């Protein structure tokens, strides 16, 4: 049974970028899913990222490295979450083994006889289960009150997002832009091109936003919304591009629980998935791919638990190991890169070197793909190449 508080289609505050890791996870489920995703009229192929260092130097990193634009299929996509999530929900509706119920509000959880009971409005029991997979996002009440995971400002990012049309200079190949302006460090300003403006027509449609470590916002007493608007209006790299742009709707905010610290992901009768498990990449802010990877391992663990009829915390802990075995090295690397942002001068050096060092450029690319980066991180030769290969 799959329960969701929302009714679909519904919007979700997000950057709207799907990396190659997302595409690979969809392909694992069914290769035809990728074909149907590519056919969405509101989707835009995305082939990589433009990183802009504090000194404004640019490093362009394809999602696939090396990348042949003439022959390779686009490894990523840019799709509004209102459309992507609706696409996933429609796929779930077609599966006879899934009992999908939307518009179901869960207010509380109770443990009763080795089971977890979901409680709705007015204390009404909704259902009782031996295994609960918790995938209700960054504001998960279950994560806070039952799994005991609290928001920690040093491991949490605040984000703002708005839609604009009429933005100049968007990349024709769907490269997303990450601008590491000094006033947002450790964090970044982003511009993600999108396909068209729904019902309005026109060009230059983009998801525009900013993300910054919550600890830094609090310590520096930053008004993030004002800083975002001031940067758009005055920064020399942006002001001409947005001079005639129009914002569509309000600026909306959201929180990103970062995977910069390992936490317990399971307990008696439950598994935490995605943002509810604090698995957002600390450097890129990407959450969708890690959520899908954790979902795959949650499914594997659930199958084993059902087969053995063992839903204990000790048995389900294998899920934690599987998720961190797959994502731990990448999250640790991203944490180190996030910390590098505290030193703009050093970040500029890395960016300049990445522009001419294929090993470092490939490393950045691998952070967005389903490649086994862990093996190379264990090899001393990798670091020698990283430091000295020009």
Return the half-sphere exposure (C-beta side, CA atoms, 13 A cut-off) of residue 68. 3
Query: Which pLDDT belongs to residue 82?
Result: 95
Spatial distance between the Cα atoms of 168 and 265, rounded to a whole number of angstroms: 43
Q: Which DSSP helix (H) or strand (E) runs through 192? A: strand 187-193
Q: Of 104-113, 368-377, 381-390, where does mean pLDDT reach its minimum? A: 368-377
Q: Which DSSP helix (H) or strand (E) runs through 118? A: strand 115-119
List phi, psi (to 5°) of 133: -100, 115
Query: Which pLDDT belongs to residue 366?
Result: 63
Average per-residue pLDDT for the chain: 88
Q: Are 186 and 216 in contact (CB under 8 A)?
A: yes
- Structural domain range at position 340: 1-390
Q: Which DSSP helix (H) or strand (E) runs through 297? A: helix 288-308
pLDDT band at residue 345, thresholds of 50, 70 and 90? confident
Q: Of 67-76, 199-208, 254-263, 286-295, where does mean pLDDT reach its minimum? A: 67-76
Spatial distance between the Cα atoms of 364 and 378, rounded to a whole number of angstroms: 17
Instruction: Give pLDDT tens digits for 230-273.
Output: 999 999 999 999 999 999 999 999 999 999 999 999 999 999 99
Question: How many helices and strands (H and E) does the chain possess?
Answer: 12, 18
* Residue for token pair 């940067």: 231
Number of domains observed in the structure of the chain: 1
Residue 49, SS3?
strand
Spatial distance between the Cα atoms of 67 and 374, rounded to a whole number of angstroms: 22
The mean per-residue pLDDT over the stretch 55-77 comes to: 71
pLDDT band at residue 54, thresholds of 50, 70 and 90? confident
Instruction: Give pLDDT tens digits for 309-329.
Output: 999 999 999 999 999 999 998
Percent helix, strand and coil across the chain, each to the nearest 5: 40, 25, 40
CATH assignment at residue 54: 3.50.50.60
The mean per-residue pLDDT over the stretch 32-38 comes to: 92
Q: Are 21 and 369 in contact (CB under 8 A)?
A: yes
Q: Which DSSP helix (H) or strand (E) runs through 253? A: strand 246-257
pLDDT band at residue 370, thresholds of 50, 70 and 90? very low
User: Residue 74 above 90 pLDDT?
Assistant: no
Cα 329-333-334 angle, rounded to 5 deg:
115
User: How far does the chain reach from its first CA to its final CA, in angstroms?
Assistant: 54
Instruction: Give pLDDT tens digits for 136-185.
Output: 999 999 999 999 999 999 999 999 999 999 999 999 888 999 999 989 98
């Amino acid at each position: 049974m799959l329960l969701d508080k929302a009714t679909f289609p519904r919007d979700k505050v997000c950057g709207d970028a799907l990396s190659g890791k997302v595409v690979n996870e969809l392909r694992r489920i069914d290769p035809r899913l990728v074909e149907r995703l590519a056919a969405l009229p509101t989707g835009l192929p995305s082939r990589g990222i433009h990183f802009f260092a504090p000194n404004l130097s640019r490093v362009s990193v394809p999602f696939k490295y090396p990348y042949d634009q003439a022959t390779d299929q686009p490894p990523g996509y840019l799709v509004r979450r209102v459309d992507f999530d609706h696409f996933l929900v429609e796929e779930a509706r077609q599966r006879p083994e899934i009992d999908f119920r939307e518009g179901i509000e869960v207010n509380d959880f109770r443990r009763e006889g080795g089971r977890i009971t979901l409680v709705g409005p007015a204390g009404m029991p909704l259902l009782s289960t031996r295994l609960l997979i918790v995938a209700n996002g960054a504001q998960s009440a279950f994560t806070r009150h039952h799994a005991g995971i609290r928001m920690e400002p040093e491991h949490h990012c605040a984000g703002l997002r708005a839609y604009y049309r009429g933005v100049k200079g968007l990349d024709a190949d769907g490269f997303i832009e990450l601008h590491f302006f000094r006033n947002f460090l450790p964090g970044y300003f982003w511009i993600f091109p999108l396909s068209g403006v729904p019902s309005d027509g026109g060009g230059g449609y983009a998801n525009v936003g900013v993300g910054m470590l919550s600890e830094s916002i609090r310590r520096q007493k930053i008004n993030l919304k004002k800083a975002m608007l001031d940067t758009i209006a005055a920064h020399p790299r942006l002001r001409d591009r947005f001079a005639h742009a129009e914002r569509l709707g309000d600026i909306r905010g959201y929180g990103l629980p970062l995977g910069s610290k390992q936490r317990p992901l399971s307990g008696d009768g439950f598994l935490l998935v995605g943002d509810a498990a604090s698995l957002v990449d600390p450097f890129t802010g990407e959450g969708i791919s890690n959520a899908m990877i954790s979902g795959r391992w949650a499914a594997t663990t659930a199958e084993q638990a059902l087969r053995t009829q063992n839903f204990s915390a000790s048995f389900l802990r294998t899920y934690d190991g599987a998720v961190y075995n797959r994502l731990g090295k990448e999250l640790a690397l991203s944490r180190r890169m996030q910390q590098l942002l505290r030193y703009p001068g050093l970040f500029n050096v890395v960016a300049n070197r990445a522009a001419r060092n294929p090993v470092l450029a490939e490393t950045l690319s691998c952070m967005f793909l389903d490649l086994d980066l862990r093996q190379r991180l264990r090899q001393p030769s990798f670091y020698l190449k990283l430091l000295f290969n020009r």
